[in-house]
Amino acid sequence: MTTRPRAPIAVALDAPDVETAAQWAQAVTPYVAVVKVGLELFCRTGPSIVETVRGGSGVDLFLDLKLHDIPNTVAGAARGVARLKPRYLTVHASGGADMVKAAVESAPDVTIAAVTVLTSMSADALAAVGIQGLPLDAVRRLAALAVGAGAGALVCSPQEVAAVRSEVGAGIILITPGVRPVGADVQDQARVATPAQALADGADLLVIGRPITGARDPGAAAAEIAASLSR
Query: Crossing angle of helices 97-106/135-148, nearest 10°?
Result: 50
Per DSSP, the three-state class of 187 is: coil
- Count other Cβ atoms within 10 Å, centred on residue 72: 12
Q: How far apart are CA 180 and CA 188, in angstroms?
A: 12
Options 36, 66, 85, 101, the catalytic residue: 66
Roughly how many angstroms between the first and final C-alpha of the chain, as a whole number?
19
Does residue 66 have an active-site annotation? yes
Q: How far apart are CA 113 and CA 121, in angstroms?
A: 18
Adjacent-strand bridge partners of 112: 89
Per DSSP, the three-state class of 203 is: coil
Amino acid identity, position 227: A
Active site residues: 66
